Structure formats: structure tokens, C-alpha cells
Structure 1
């Protein structure tokens, strides 16, 4: 007779190989320099067939070690924070890994951020140095030294130094993401984060040393930094990054011209290129595609795969742990599911209280074992939020999900109200705070709204303070305060915002308000 006890929603295939000690993320990532120093590690692509910069594994490691020495000569010490506001040029990964090689802590900042957003990060980070790319600016009153392209190049003229003998739990880098309070929130990662990424090599990528990985993202984005640079280099493969003008149809031509074998992008990029000419021919040399950042619509995946003859393997992740649930060449996609926990992960579905996994097939809170080597050290300067993110032996991801009997995961959305627009997580409170700075707005609330399969936009609902301002005026106002991906695409004036008996905003009802217009 079958056991009537439901199987708990726990995925645990044993611990991942322990991270060696000492361990330096930069040394680990650039280790191929000692094995295949002449092999190409990075091509920064200006256009199909046009390479703006090319670096071998040996040259890259040498540049990182020289730049680390330059940073030390400039007074940067282990533990110092550095803000990197740079574009898609080779100087970004060289500076990023040079800081880690020294034991300092780099924090990338998107070139899309406004001065106000950068000012908030500067105040929180308190950096010892800011690296600023060509054509970018900073808010006034930056207290620390600021270096530009000429000074960055000069850093690399010093004799190379050894990689710092850091330990696995020593700080390595900080990634800023939107917090639910509307303030930027720094996610502090340990050196061991690079070691843990090895779980993705077969659990998602099927990564091989002879791969050429073309990534559609910006250098500073966590997805690109990990899947587009760190992992290909650590595996001895080649990273291909486009730094040319934006063009939604350029990717098949880039893949063909530069011999890409793996293509990585957010779902929106796959959707936008479906009508690209030469789609099948461009990706003929591809083994498969990778998708992360938001849910990939099955219709988009099916259409792209039919056109190219290549599968897409999607992954679920977050800044605090990177991708940890995915499908892969060894574990093909299951329709309607988001993926399977990667081997070495400990994942469970929890209830609203307690730390015992719920039965499989039950909806609940998605959680990751707190001893996962890829898990963050904590939120920078936010001990209360860090403590609140853990429950017993589990880290609460903030996602709702369901685990099937076969261990596959169905993602059911965020447990909180953080929006997802174009693959970016955006806190509604941050957008609302910007709207409320307009004199014509008395109350404001925003929500992400689906406009078609797999595509959502941010819509704003506001109670006017007098005559309602025009949508165009509000759009210009937001563009001056927020990065483009955070700006609402719709503006709706309403008499009242939906609230409960306690006066709390009922955000989900905004979708009904919009639907009734």
C-alpha cells in the first residue's frame, strides 16, 4: 500500500563541493590565463564583423592584476567600496575584477540612472573612489576621488600584483536593486559567489570551454556580469558583448558573424527579434539560447525555437542568489514550469509561518537554504532587513511558487509588490515618490500591467491636485527623476485610489480601475 503521507516540497541532492580557502573571485574567474593564455576571452563588438576590442585570457588577467596594483597605489585598500558608473567597454570588467583582486568591493551602477538615483547610491555606499565612463556624469558634491577614462587607463601601467588571499566569506561586490521602501538596496555578495556559479554550468548553460557566449545585456547588469562574463571566463570560454548602437534585429547577424554558440538575453529581446530577417541563418551555429530576468512566454519560446531550430533554457533567480532554478540541455523544459532547482541547491516551499516544507503541489513561499554558497552575505547597512529575509534555516526569496512531484517549480509571482518591467525589478514606492514630486499630483500609485503575452508595462494612477496634468508632462517629469525602465508608460487620472477600511492602498484593484476605463 502506498504511503499516504504527502511528499514534502523539499529539493536537496546533497551539498555542493565546498569552496576552497583561501578563495578570491577574480583569481578563480581568470584562472584560464594559466592554461590557455592565448585563447580569446573577450570580444567587445561594435557591429556584425566589427570588433572594437579583443582580449585573450592572458591579457585580461594581466590587465586586472596591473589595475589592481594601480588601485593600491591610488590608496584603495581591502574592504574599500568603489562605485563603477561605466558603459559597455572593457574597462568595466577590468576595473570590477581588479577591485576584487585587491580585496576591495566594487558596486556597478547603471548608466541609465539619473543623478538623483546615483546620489542615493553614493550616500548609501560611501565609496572611496568613483570610476566614471565617458559621456556620463555625477551629482554635485561627490566627496571621494573621481577617475575618468584617462586615469583608468593609467591604473593599468603598474607592475602586476598578486591576487589577495581572501577567504570565501569575505565581501566581494555589491549589486544595487530597488527596495520595497523605494530606497536603493545594496546586496552584498561574498567571494564564494563565483564558486557557487559552477552549479549553473551544467544546471543551466551546458557550458563548455569552446563556447562563444553572446550576451545581449549591459556589462553592469547582474545577468550579464555573471552569465556573460564571469562564467565563460571561469570555464575558459569566450565572452561576446555588443557595444554598438541598439538594434533589435542585430542579434542574428552578430551571432553569425562572431560564431556564437550560446545566446543569452531577457525575454523581451527574444520577442523583439521574432520578425528579424535571417533569424534561422543567423543562429545556425547556435547550440541554444538562455533566458532570465522575467518569465519567458511559452508562445515566444515556441515561435523562436521553431524559427531557429534551437531551444531556449530559462532560469529563475534574483540579485540575492543569482539564478538557482532552471532547465538545461540535460534537463529539458517542462511546459508550464519555470525550471528545476540546480544540483547542489536546497530549495523548499514554505507556508506563511514556520520553516517546515509544505507538501508538494501546494502553493507557498519559495525558499533557499541559508547555507547555499551563492547566497548573499546580507543587505548593505540594513541589518533588520537582512534578518527579516531569513526564517530558521531558510532564505525567503519573496516569490510564491509550487513544487510538483517531480521537483519542477512553477513560479506564481512576487509575494510582495515589486514590479517586473522588461526584466528589471522596480519598486512601486520609488516610482510613486517621483510622481508625488509633481505639483499636479496629490496621490499616486503604480502597477505593472500585462499588455500582451509576456509583456508588461508600468501604469500610473494619480489623483490630481487641481487640474489634471497632461500625460506628456508627467512623462517628462518622471524621465528627469527615474531611469527609463522605471518610468510609467501610461498615466490615468482618477478621483480616488482603491483603499481598504484601514486606509491602506489595495494595489491589485488598480488593474480593475484601468480595465473599466
Structure 2
């Protein structure tokens, strides 16, 4: 058999046509949303049918990594195709087979992209994991994920000393020294180092066809409110589904795209793998250990970054620096992970002349809602439904559709390509999430007369005070307008009269001290910008607890508030 036996030219043609339809409608949101249809091939392997297709004879950089010490390395599309073939051949020789589950716990290193492509070619199932995980989390993932192979950074091999199981252990970037029982991924190279020729140079020959419905990835969610769920995606749902993400990012062939996201989380696959390579763009990585806004902007200038995506935490740190240090701002700037506050958007617009475009999606889906290139952005809104998605708002209690406000849900008739298969090994939770012919996101949104959606909050974060509904996000956005506030999270605090009042946990910006004077200034700000029933009534200064993916754990703050822990300031006491 040859590699071509298992490739599907019809699938490649379908994918290319759908991609080009979106590329040709930049700035024409109405046309893109009305006319886009998902490609639906029965057989599809993105690595074989798409990546290898665009990589043939292509010497453009597919991946460029700038290390903290300033050294840089690049891998072309053609080289990446060849090295992923070599990785697939080598992994097959170590016993990796179709259907096997591989935990991939690598940093922003070239091997990560090679292994992801190789796993797809092998039809193995990838369980991405962040290197930040500790032994307890690894035990849970290996056991519940039924992991048969692990591929990890050499420096993280010790974390698996107390993780039982008969899985194959493979270290990447290991050099010569690896613990006993560990294999070296570097053995697939023929003594040529990071940019060397793969050993043997043999083309990879698949051993079977890939159905579009075959499982490809299993993601453990960040666990902001509960035990991490195991989200299953197929060879279609993320590779094909991220056409919506590509359109939102505004990527074009030849772009240089920088996305700040930690490996192991869905956003890394969104914007450092599928969306840019769907467009034929270069993935640009600045591999730092400690965030430095000035250094980041210098590397963006040197690297010719044309498209930039970052989580709100990074944007909030950037606006505390001199944004004008970036001589050539990116053409596209987007934010995802949590809603971005209007104050941040305005400061970046003033400095760069670029409007940050917010977007919304989840590990369970691709980009569902966004502010798209060339389309007016409404302050505070996360935009309109992505091409290929129909969004309905549903009353969380009655389950009836509400045109104005409700739980943001994805209509499954027809089912968008980018929606997960379900929660692996948890049919009850899958049934609950997919009840009523929709996928329920658990997020509350409001829709205006123009169809723009505004994030209200997680369904379990929204609360009532004096019988008024309170959106924590709205109050947090108001607090962030004050120069003293670097980050804020609002939760309900028990109150004998109102039952609950808004309490803010605040992380202060540099140069501000926690104490009654700062609290008084923030209460005054709250009274000036918020309606009386929404005002912040209590403040506590603290570092905000977060998941390893960087999302604020409001559930932990609610627990701390209920316990009465910490030093808080009451608005009534400081008037």
C-alpha cells in the first residue's frame, strides 16, 4: 500500500473550497454567515489530507520559535511534513497504533507540532496536558484517560515516578541523559540536531483509512467549578471546525501569527495549530518563562507579526506598559479565554490604531461567537455568531428560547462541525449538555436589536442582590477602569438585609497599596460609574486564585466569602 491509498483528494478539495470561501469574504460577515456550509467528508485526516497537501514543496516557515535567550529556529512546511512522517514512523516502531491514547505534555518546542501531526497520521488519540500539572493531576489523567503512551519534556520525567501504569515513556528534548525506562524522541533524528534530517527519511505509509468521525483528541477541561471533564473531539470537529476560528482571527496565507497560550489547553490547538495552518500562516512563538511586555513587543517587531491573539490577563499587563514601543502593530488583534473589558480595548486602540476583537468559544467547541475582521465592534459585545453556527438564547429554568437574554446555546440542527462528540465516558453529562437539540454552554448572554451578543456571566456566577440580577463581569469591567485595579473578580457576599451584595476581590496595579484609602477610592469610583443596585459594597485585596490555564476560580472566592476569611472593607464604614 502507498500513502496515496489512504489519502482522500475529495476531502482536500471540499476543505479547500470551504476555507477559500471564508478567505474571500473578509469584511463581508453577512455573506460569510449566510453562505458558509461545513465540508462534510466521510473520510478525513487533516495531517495527511490538508497539511501534507499545502506543505508539498513549500519552503515558507510553518513554525518559528524565538527562545528567551534570543536564539531562533524555524521549520518550513515541507520540513514539518517530513519530520512528522519520521516521528510517525518512529512512534509506530515503539508500539503506538491507531486508537491508542497518547498523553502529550510538551512545552512550546518543535517536537510538540511534530508529535501532533504524527499522532494524526497514526490515527492515535492525543490527550494534551500542560507541563504545569503535578503528580495528583497526572494520576487522574493517566487513569481516566486510559493512557498507553506519554510524551513529555525531559525535565518532567520525574513527575511520573509515582504515576502507576504500563504506558510507554518517551522524553522529548532529552539529549543523552534520560532516566531508565524512558525512550528518547530525539532518536528519530540522524545526528543532525533540531533542524536535522529525519533518520532514514522514509515517507510515512498509513495502515488504514481515517473516518472523519474517528476520535482525535481528548481534552481535560480546566475545572473552574468541578472535577475536570473529558471532552472528545474527532478528526473533523477540531481540524475542520477551526475554519470558524481562522475566519475570526482574520488570518491570510503568508501571515505571521502569534498566539500567547500555554500548551496543553484547547486555545493552544485553536490558534497555534489548526487555525493558522488552515490558512497557510506561520505560527510564531516567543518562548519566555516570565512575561516581559517590552521584550514581547520587540520580538513582535522583529518577527513581523501580523496577527496577535492573547488572553485578557496578557492584554491587561500590556496596557500597563508603553504600548507605543511596538513600532509596527499587528493588522489583527484578538482576545479570548475570558471576556475582555472595554477599557483595555480603548487603550490599545489609542496606542496602536487597532481594535481588539473579542471572541467566544470553549474547549467543547471552536469559535462560536466573534467580532470579525472589517465589521464594526460594539464596546462590551463579543460579537455575532460565527459562520457555521446558529446561536439561540434559552431560559435556563424553563428551557424556552428567549430572543433577548438567556443561556447561550448552539443549535444542533444542523450540527456545526466544531461541536464536540460529548464528554467521554459520561453519557449523563453529555445528555444534559445536549438536551433539547442544542449544546448548552453554561454561559449567559444578552442579544441586542442588531444581533450582537454581550456576555453576562457564567450561569452559576450570576446572582441576585435585593432581587436585582447582577452580572459579575459588568462590575469587574467597571472596576478595571480605575488605574489602581490590575484584576478583579466579583462574587456575592451574604447580607442580612439584601440577602447578597457584590463583593470585589481586587489585585492591585503596581504602585498602589492595599488599605482603607485605596478601598475608599474604589468605592467612590463604583458609585460614580455603576447604578445604585449594582455598586460594589465590599472589597478585599488579594491575588486571585486561578486554574492552571489562567482562568479565575470564582467558585473558590465564593467559598472564601462564605467562610468570612480575609480582611475586607465595607463601603458603609468608609463613607
> So what's the TM-score if we normalise by structure 2?
0.70
The answer to whether structure 1 residue 154 and structure 2 residue 183 are counterparts is: no
Aligned to 1:142: 164
* Alpha carbons 1:120, 1:183 under 8 Å: kept: no
Aligned to 1:129: 149
Deviates more, 1:38-47 or 1:328-337: 328-337
Aligned to 1:228: 272
- Structure 2 unmatched runs, 5+: 1-31, 175-183, 189-197, 463-474, 494-543
Aligned to 1:16: 37
Of the three residues 89, 106, 111, the one matched with 1:86 is: 106
Aligned to 1:173: 217
Given the superposition, is the C-alpha separation of residues 283 and 83 from structure 1 closer, same or farther in structure 2, using an over 3 Å criterion? farther
Shift of 1:85: 1.3
Give SS of 1:366's match: strand
Per-residue CA deviation, residues 451-484 of structure 1 (Å, 9 max, x unaligned), is: 74583359999xxxxxxxxxxxxxxxx99x9849
The answer to whether structure 1 residue 241 and structure 2 residue 285 are counterparts is: yes
Give SS of 2:388's match: coil
Per-residue CA deviation, residues 406-461 of structure 1 (Å, 9 max, x unaligned), is: 2111111111359xxxxxxxxxxxxxxxxxxxxxxxxxxxxx98874583359999
Considering fraction of residues, name the structure with more helix.
Answer: 2
The answer to whether structure 1 residue 262 and structure 2 residue 307 are counterparts is: yes
Give SS of 1:220's match: coil
Give SS of 1:392's match: helix
Considering fraction of residues, name the structure with more strand.
Answer: 1
* Alpha carbons 1:401, 1:410 under 8 Å: kept: yes
Aligned-partner Cα distance in 1 for 2:565–2:205: 56
Q: How does 1:339-378 map to 2 (within 5 A)?
A: 339-352=383-396, 356-359=400-403, 362-370=404-412, 371-378=415-422
RMSD: 3.5
The answer to whether structure 1 residue 308 and structure 2 residue 313 are counterparts is: no
The answer to whether structure 1 residue 455 and structure 2 residue 487 are counterparts is: yes
Aligned to 1:331: 375
Aligned-partner Cα distance in 1 for 2:299–2:141: 35
Q: How does 1:87-106 map to 2 (within 5 A)?
A: 87-106=107-126
* Alpha carbons 1:211, 1:262 under 8 Å: kept: yes
Shift of 1:314: 1.2
The answer to whether structure 1 residue 197 and structure 2 residue 242 are counterparts is: yes
Given the superposition, is the C-alpha separation of residues 236 and 382 from structure 1 closer, same or farther in structure 2, using an over 3 Å criterion? same
Given the superposition, is the C-alpha separation of residues 21 and 482 from structure 1 closer, same or farther in structure 2, using an over 3 Å criterion? closer
Deviates more, 1:398-407 or 1:312-321: 398-407
The answer to whether structure 1 residue 27 and structure 2 residue 52 are counterparts is: no
Greater CA radius of gyration, 1 or 2? 2
Aligned-partner Cα distance in 2 for 1:374–1:343: 11
Given the superposition, is the C-alpha separation of residues 232 and 12 from structure 1 closer, same or farther in structure 2, using an over 3 Å criterion? closer
Aligned-partner Cα distance in 1 for 2:305–2:549: 30
Aligned to 1:497: 562
Shift of 1:310: 1.6
* Alpha carbons 2:256, 2:282 under 8 Å: kept: yes
Give SS of 1:30's match: helix
Shift of 1:47: 4.3
Return the structure number with greater relative CO, CA threshold 8 A, min gap 6. Answer: 1
Shift of 1:318: 0.7
Given the superposition, is the C-alpha separation of residues 459 and 406 from structure 1 closer, same or farther in structure 2, using an over 3 Å criterion? closer
Aligned-partner Cα distance in 2 for 1:58–1:414: 43
Shift of 1:334: 1.1
Aligned to 1:379: 423
Deviates more, 1:348-357 or 1:295-304: 348-357
Of the three residues 271, 286, 297, the one matched with 1:252 is: 297
Per-residue CA deviation, residues 97-135 of structure 1 (Å, 9 max, x unaligned), is: 211111111111111122111211111101110111022
Per-residue CA deviation, residues 207-248 of structure 1 (Å, 9 max, x unaligned), is: 110210012222333212211222212211111011133233
* Alpha carbons 1:263, 1:286 under 8 Å: kept: yes
Aligned-partner Cα distance in 1 for 2:393–2:37: 20
Aligned-partner Cα distance in 1 for 2:547–2:373: 39
Given the superposition, is the C-alpha separation of residues 399 and 487 from structure 1 closer, same or farther in structure 2, using an over 3 Å criterion? closer
Per-residue CA deviation, residues 361-405 of structure 1 (Å, 9 max, x unaligned), is: x22111002211000011121111111101222110111112222
Aligned-partner Cα distance in 2 for 1:364–1:512: 35
Aligned-partner Cα distance in 1 for 2:67–2:428: 45
* Alpha carbons 1:68, 1:160 under 8 Å: kept: no
The answer to whether structure 1 residue 213 and structure 2 residue 252 are counterparts is: no
* Alpha carbons 2:393, 2:405 under 8 Å: kept: yes
Given the superposition, is the C-alpha separation of residues 254 and 48 from structure 1 closer, same or farther in structure 2, using an over 3 Å criterion? farther
Aligned-partner Cα distance in 2 for 1:87–1:339: 32
Aligned-partner Cα distance in 1 for 2:556–2:369: 36
The answer to whether structure 1 residue 410 and structure 2 residue 431 are counterparts is: no
Per-residue CA deviation, residues 321-342 of structure 1 (Å, 9 max, x unaligned), is: 0221001213231123111101
- Structure 1 unmatched runs, 5+: 1-10, 419-447, 462-477, 499-508
Of the three residues 380, 389, 394, the one matched with 2:433 is: 389
Shift of 1:253: 0.6
